[in-house]
Amino acid sequence: MRMSSGLQFTHASQPRFEWGREIADHLYVYSGGIDVFHFSITRPVEHPRNTVGRYRNVDPLTIGYLIRQKVEELGENYLSWPQTALFDQIGIRKQVMETDPYGNFLLTGHDYGTGRNWARLGQLYLQDGFWNGERLLPEGWAEFVSAPAPAWKNAQYGGLFWVNGDKRWTALPTSAYYMSGAGGQNVIIVPTHDLVVVRQGHRVGQRIGIRGLDNALGVLMDALP
């Protein structure tokens, strides 16, 4: 959950990584046409667990493997389970979650929804896992994912959520936390102000868009009591 499993998984940001000579494991799960769960759970150990924090797709994919095992053990339909167990409960009717060729949800990318869909997911966390008075997420879950992970050098990652401990969003409190996807997609949860902010965009112009979002958040916070 905290991106500190210690499993070996190459990333393009690593020293001596050479584009054109190899494909990073972090990206290979999208393009390799492989069983991404098997690929992830068979990676060798590089660091003792919970000692090194780094953003690697191997961690959520390993969790995905465990989830699929449990869902099928319960006799549930794995491919429809996210819709029936979660999305239907919070009013999301159409959300695309792509799989690998073996029917495993990729989870770390290729998940598509409208701004309203993402806002509903953010609202679920803002409400501590409650929806219409019913608890959908375990007690303490939102608190866990929004707490800085101990293995990370900087307070920037929690439990599959980024956290604002490093003031990535300069106008927001350090208690804010957020989902962050390729191309500058963001769902930001600010519990102190009962606020959820969704930003969607395109990879082209991402850096400018994120700077603009940071500025917009400052204006928004100034307008709130």
* pLDDT band, very low/low/confident/very high, at 18 (cuts 50, 70, 90): low
In order of 154, 202, 209, the CA distances from 206 in angstroms are 23, 6, 5
Average pLDDT on 126-144 reads: 98
Share of the chain above pLDDT 70, in %: 96
Tokens of 164: 């604002």
What local confidence, expressed as pLDDT, does residue 130 receive?
A: 98
Please report where in the chains the tokens 């916070």 appear, as a residue: 221
Is-above-0.75 flag for pTM? Answer: yes
Q: 167 CB contacts (<8 Å, ≥6 apart)?
A: 174
Tell me what the pLDDT averaged over the chain comes to. 94
HSE, CB side, 13 Å, CA atoms: give it for residue 17.
14
Tokens of 93: 């009717």
Each residue's pLDDT tens digit, 177-218:
999 998 899 999 999 999 999 999 887 888 898 999 999 999
Q: Are 211 and 199 in contact (CB under 8 A)?
A: no
Q: Which CATH superfamily is domain 117-225 in?
A: DD-peptidase/beta-lactamase superfamily (3.40.710.10)
Each residue's pLDDT tens digit, 44-92:
999 999 999 999 999 999 999 999 999 999 999 999 999 999 999 999 9
Whether 105 shows a pLDDT value over 70: the answer reads yes
* pLDDT band, very low/low/confident/very high, at 15 (cuts 50, 70, 90): low
Q: Which residues pair with 188 in a beta bridge?
A: 178, 197
Q: Where exactly are the structural domains of the chain?
A: 1-112, 117-225
